[in-house]
Structure 1
């Protein structure tokens, strides 16, 4: 059957820029998949999504005018219901056939097939292929219904009575199959072949589309619109780099636009045909921290600040305009006038904030509520400072304790500065600048900025040990404090970001190789809160389980197998910084030829010991050893265990596990020829003691039974 290409476009008022790309992809994907499911798209069909500020469109190749007919087998009823004893059709069967538009003669076309335990009657039904008009109507309705709309608005149609719910008011609908208009409707509109181009720069209005394949080209040449989001984004990148290169002419350094994918996507969704222009502001504003200037230019004006070769902000910026006048000076001048007050505000805030020291702001934190059950930010600051000092002292560094305590005291004070009040994203960063302005130690200043790190998965850690300690204390205080009042994450809800906090704690303990005992750490932090003593043990256990769950997910995401992770974490290692070495040791052990047999034996030993009531001591009375196999195992264990223990205590986990390979043969021989549950109680107890000693030797690095298949 012959096919033609299909174009569908919804022309609307300006769509929400941060959602545009997702809306365009969803519209195209759902519409195309629905057409495919109806048999209207050939096997070779392909789809292209278009999205600009005022349109969502999809171009699909090789679309049929009518889907091919297809045969389906339909179950009617059990044979016992549809046929009488003589094999004739019952009234029930005839009635069912009549309801399908068939006569009694159709009984001859029925087949009998087993349906579970009973035999049923089936009929092959020819389903007529759906027309493109009907199929596209279904697909269009489906695509509109399933759009991931951030916020729906209701507007009135031209008839003055009907209301429509959609992301933005829609003004026209295009549906072309080759040259032919497909008469579908949506949102009170009937499809045609006309659309609109650029508001100001289109050479033709309306743009009358010749066919489905001329859409993108006609919009570009007649409508002054680049319909493709991807193409428009690439054009912006090209112009940004070219304009930055031109702006570098005559300078001693090369300029480059700041890299920000989110900003690039948003600007791409704001313009129909980009035109990048160069603006600048007075150099006096460069006295303000560049983070402030960059943030106000990006967030408020959607500009791309220009950096020099050393990533230092310059007084030049790039504007992505939606118009291309012959003389762009008015556009540039207007944008420069708009950005100047923003920069002046930033400079004013910066100057005013520096008139008051961070230390003098500490008392003001008592007026800022942190949580109604956990007190003010002032109280929280005291707890974080105490935790930071305690951690530092555990690490054996009094100087570190002094710096970490001071940094923790000052870490939240920038929250009540004018600059952070205007730009909350700068919390920590401004604290560092103000601390440096006051002449505080750089380690303390950078710790103030870095104590929020890591802020998200993959973020860098604090750049010095003071920062690591304060960040660890801050996240522990948050996690333990909220758990202590029952504010735990549930399902996919985590309003306080505790999963992120837990992962940050884990990363710092592991990546910074901090030799801190995890349970004791949680216990010490919990002591800072008024937690009831009767619930403390349960709270500590809940926090440990929560953190180990996050750790397990993280390790698997890094490439460790579930068995390896379970083997290591099932022992609940208290020093988390050991975990990477334990995992590496398990991975090496797993590659040994002896590993499967030893893992299986370890699992068997564990199962035997679990069935014994009471504690089984790992003690062996040599005089009670009778069988050659148990004597050999005890002898081998006497040689291997001291060596493995020594390697384990020295932190060489890989060698410790590899040394266990020598136990394979005696372990196999033991289980082949020794009866553990002997009739003699003393003999049984001795053999259990031997197995307990073996179990202990094999499970110091990891629970090897988790590796058994």
Structure 2
């Protein structure tokens, strides 16, 4: 802990036009990370960092920031030790000249051993500058290094930011930090609420800053603001005898839309409760940011809570305005629902011929036909116990709701309305649910399809999208993934693993590409490139599986080992990775891995000498030494014992058998020379090692395992 006289608090407030709510939380994390990094690099110690935000400001608060940099000892490389000193250890002209050039005595030179040998160094102490002098550089770098999904420039500025910066408040203790950002100068001025406090506010004391803004209708601490919102909602809904429909995502968003929240309870006509539940919630939540109210059974009540930014005055007028806007949306939804319900869902399928999915990939009708065929193929490949007619019906109707009026107005309801309209049309429950489920999961960790039929169609739809987009060049790169292909690949992977489908990815991709060749409108050049697409898509899936296995607690080298052999069967790859992870706890694990690596290295060295030996060339009768005979005997037994385990995919049992080879393998390497002059004997021993490596390779490439 520093003495009070050598530290001060730091406050930076970046005042902007209203920021998108989704930009704020990532920006705060960046500010904290950048601050830690830059203050450390500039050798300015501090005790604590806190970040706050409202829609119009990003705030950095640092406690007990040292008033000067730590001193720095700089090491300057001089001549080598041999050049700097003669045979008696006396300094030469080279050492004397170097010391003089660095402003130190020759006796102060020190010797350091580096990669090139022993060299002399001059140690130069550089006293730290005052923090006030280095702060402009640090703070500018923090502000200009924050990245956003989209940035903009504005007149009189040469920087990019999410929204125009209108003021900069910077205080270090009681002093203003003098620097400019474009034509904007840092000062000790801030601003209150945009409507309730339009005056500029002078900040004299950092300790009073939060209270000063609260008096001007701004709650800067997002956690305090969240509690204010939660309390206001609780008070508002008390008279309804209902409870809030929990919605953390909406609460997070609203929290960054307001500076001084006030809750308003509103209501709507009960007739709208006849609309599907999801339609009501979408109208309330997505478009108007209203919170839904439910009874104890979870049934929607004809009430909502809206949040306004400001004080609680003219609340009747505010409530009336919110209700009027909502009523207009619900009237539209009711109209669309009635219109759509007048015809059966399957009547919409023909309309899909007029909706272009992608110019080269055809219409939504073309895509639907591919999904129907691919669903049947998947069910066959995975031996899925699905009724063929049910699969075809789900796939046929899967996109039918995309041409309805409701989905045209509320795209978020695609799949949900397909399910609703299917029920109204008299479709079987499994078909209606499958239409909705084929859109799942909606996020990387979202809900998965419950029915096997829904899962199969979901995989088919996503595989068709991924293969199609890869064929036309819409391949994700870096952080760019405009068509959400990573999410779709993650969804396919999760579904396959969840349903334990023995579905070979390589064959599935081949089938999908084959269907595209027949139905898509590809040029000759595209058709020629398709053969190269398969491996690209397979490589695209690997990080998705790696991510899932990592989340399950599997170590990176265990994942590499399992996937290096093969990962086209995702369920099989997952089983092998988990088995390796479990076996790692065994005391015999690392020794047998070391032995495997040794065997593989010997085979590699032999190959480099152009000696290629296959396991099939092994001749048991040619063995001479007792240790190689015992190893062969043990290997013969283990091969037979593991055969059943491998066939049943009981990799844990197979690995336990494999590690029992530890002693005969160790004895073999201790007593037997492999690379002998006798060519036949050498090749036979290499073939024996090849048999061991081949057996291990049926589970993983254990050379990927890191051992200490």
| TM-score normalised by length of structure 2 | 0.84
Corresponding residue for 1:351? 338
**TM-fit CA distance, 1:552:** 2.9
Corresponding residue for 1:630? 628
Q: Secondary structure at the match of 1:618?
A: helix
1:52 aligned to 2:54?
yes
User: What does 1:178-257 correspond to in 2, within 5 Å?
Assistant: 178-179=173-174, 188=183, 193-201=188-196, 207-220=201-214, 222-244=215-237, 246-249=238-241, 254-257=242-245
Mapped to 2, the partners of 1:512 and 1:146 lie a distance apart of: 44
Mapped to 1, the partners of 2:462 and 2:335 lie a distance apart of: 33
Corresponding residue for 2:564? 570
Name stretches of at least 5 consecutive residues in structure 1 with no aligned partner.
Answer: 98-105, 157-161
Contact 1:178 1:212 in 2 (8 A): yes
1:141 aligned to 2:129?
no
Corresponding residue for 2:68? 67
Contact 1:175 1:184 in 2 (8 A): no
User: What does 1:577-616 correspond to in 2, within 5 Å?
Assistant: 577-609=571-603, 611=606, 616=614
Contact 1:408 1:448 in 2 (8 A): yes
Q: Secondary structure at the match of 1:414?
A: helix
1:379 and 1:127, CA in 2 relative to 1: closer, same or farther beyond 3 A?
same
Name stretches of at least 5 consecutive residues in structure 2 with no aligned partner.
Answer: 85-90, 519-523
Contact 1:518 1:575 in 2 (8 A): yes
Mapped to 2, the partners of 1:669 and 1:535 lie a distance apart of: 53
Mapped to 2, the partners of 1:609 and 1:89 lie a distance apart of: 57
Larger Rg: 1
Corresponding residue for 1:522? 509
Corresponding residue for 1:103? none
Deviations 1:597-619 (A, max 9, x none): 33233334444555465662436
Contact 1:38 1:67 in 2 (8 A): no
User: What does 1:644-659 correspond to in 2, within 5 Å?
Assistant: 644-659=642-657
Mapped to 2, the partners of 1:687 and 1:74 lie a distance apart of: 56
User: What does 1:417-432 correspond to in 2, within 5 Å?
Assistant: 417-432=404-419
1:402 aligned to 2:400?
no
User: What does 1:81-96 correspond to in 2, within 5 Å?
Assistant: none
Mapped to 1, the partners of 2:381 and 2:42 lie a distance apart of: 68
1:32 and 1:524, CA in 2 relative to 1: closer, same or farther beyond 3 A?
closer
Contact 1:476 1:522 in 2 (8 A): yes
Corresponding residue for 2:88? none
Corresponding residue for 1:260? 248
Which has the higher mean CA deviation after the structures are superposed, 69-78 or 577-586? Answer: 69-78
Corresponding residue for 1:370? 357
Mapped to 2, the partners of 1:625 and 1:122 lie a distance apart of: 65
1:522 and 1:614, CA in 2 relative to 1: closer, same or farther beyond 3 A?
farther
**TM-fit CA distance, 1:433:** 1.0
Which has the higher mean CA deviation after the structures are superposed, 465-474 or 316-325? Answer: 316-325
**TM-fit CA distance, 1:382:** 0.7
1:130 aligned to 2:99?
no
Q: Secondary structure at the match of 1:528?
A: helix
Deviations 1:591-643 (A, max 9, x none): 33333333233334444555465662436555444332333233323333222
Corresponding residue for 2:152? 152
Corresponding residue for 2:486? 499
Mapped to 2, the partners of 1:120 and 1:628 lie a distance apart of: 59
Corresponding residue for 2:540? 546
1:36 and 1:303, CA in 2 relative to 1: closer, same or farther beyond 3 A?
same
1:107 and 1:540, CA in 2 relative to 1: closer, same or farther beyond 3 A?
closer
Q: Secondary structure at the match of 2:387?
A: helix
Contact 1:174 1:193 in 2 (8 A): yes
Mapped to 2, the partners of 1:453 and 1:396 lie a distance apart of: 22
Mapped to 1, the partners of 2:34 and 2:389 lie a distance apart of: 60
Contact 1:31 1:143 in 2 (8 A): yes
**TM-fit CA distance, 1:505:** 2.3
Mapped to 2, the partners of 1:130 and 1:147 lie a distance apart of: 25
1:275 and 1:618, CA in 2 relative to 1: closer, same or farther beyond 3 A?
same
Mapped to 2, the partners of 1:108 and 1:682 lie a distance apart of: 71
Corresponding residue for 2:268? 281
**TM-fit CA distance, 1:436:** 1.0
Mapped to 2, the partners of 1:574 and 1:191 lie a distance apart of: 58
**TM-fit CA distance, 1:691:** 3.8
Which has the higher mean CA deviation after the structures are superposed, 316-325 or 574-583? Answer: 574-583
Deviations 1:366-417 (A, max 9, x none): 2222222222221111111001012223455685221111111111121111
Mapped to 2, the partners of 1:658 and 1:107 lie a distance apart of: 66
Contact 1:644 1:656 in 2 (8 A): yes
Mapped to 2, the partners of 1:75 and 1:424 lie a distance apart of: 65
The aligned length equals 680
1:18 aligned to 2:22?
yes
RMSD: 3.9
**TM-fit CA distance, 1:440:** 0.6
Mapped to 2, the partners of 1:672 and 1:2 lie a distance apart of: 66
**TM-fit CA distance, 1:364:** 1.9
1:453 aligned to 2:440?
yes
Corresponding residue for 2:637? 639
Contact 2:77 2:119 in 1 (8 A): no
Mapped to 2, the partners of 1:708 and 1:324 lie a distance apart of: 62
**TM-fit CA distance, 1:335:** 0.9
Q: Secondary structure at the match of 1:272?
A: coil
